[in-house]
Amino acid sequence: GENVEQHPSTLSVQEGDSAVIKCTYSDSASNYFPWYKQELGKRPQLIIDIRSNVGEKKDQRIAVTLNKTAKHFSLHITETQPEDSAVYFCAARWALGQLTFGSGTQLTVLP
Amino acid sequence: NAGVMQNPRHLVRRRGQEARLRCSPMKGHSHVYWYRQLPEEGLKFMVYLQKENIIDESGMPKERFSAEFPKEGPSILRIQQVVRGDSAAYFCASSPGGQGQETQYFGPGTRLLVL
């Protein structure tokens, strides 16, 4: 099956700096890659996603890049704010439609 | 348009009892997925259902766990004879299905505690 690796597991940045989280996947048939933000005790919330026919997608301060050849994709958050502090999960959609998630990145934005 | 709904939000069971978790997908969504999240870990896929059909249950333990999504009513994840290791947050997600309709929206989860 699909295997998704995510790095780093923890990330601290100063407010206003950028944060980058990277993921790799194993199944070249995977075609959809969402990113979720999860605050403590809350549900995962979709923040951005990208399909395999696109190399980059941007939504305000958030962007995702996809390199199909290398099988990796990254989340970029610019001008970070304290409310960006949360756990971020990448995922890859494979086979029949289920998502395989990375292990998560705890992002802390220091004021 | 109400989001994905799950109940109960919290469930306490003693070892050996049964747990029933319910999930109502978003309106217009016919695909339901169940995931389990252990404390401070990621989400692990359990089962994928469409109305009246199990599409993929490869992530669900063969023993004690079952899931259904009937023609009418919510999807149900059932855990029989619970053990302490079943304590976790169980999330369901739904999607419309179909090409270009892959986005999964998550419910608030059910936090199961087995004493």
Alpha-helical (H) ranges within chain B are none
Could you give the CA distance from residue A49 to residue B79 in angstroms, rounded to a whole number? 32
Quick one: pLDDT at residue A1?
75
Q: Do A98 and B95 touch (CB under 8 A)?
A: no
For residue A95, what pLDDT is reported? 67
Report chain B residues whose CB lies below 8 A from the CB of A50. Answer: none
**According to the model, what pLDDT value does residue A11 have?**
98
Task: Provide, as residue numbers in chain A, all residues whose Cβ is less than 8 Å from the Cβ of B35.
Answer: 99, 101
Contacts of A109 (CB under 8 A, 6+ apart): A12, A13, A14, A15, A19, A80, A81, A82, A83, A84, A85
* Percentage, residues of chain A above pLDDT 90: 82
Q: What number of CA atoms fall less than 13 Å from residue B92's CA on the CB side? A: 32
**Cis ω on the peptide bond leading into residue A82 (within 30° of 0)?**
no
DSSP label of B26: P
pLDDT tens string A32-56: 999 999 999 999 999 999 998 889 9
Among A62, A71, A54, A67, which Cα is nearest to A5's? A71
The interface residues of chain B toward chain A in range 86-115, judged by CB-CB distance below 8 A, are 91, 93, 95, 97, 100, 102-109
Confidence of residue B100 (pLDDT cuts 50, 70, 90): low
Q: What is the distance in angstroms between the Cα of B47 and the nearest Cα belonging to chain A?
A: 8
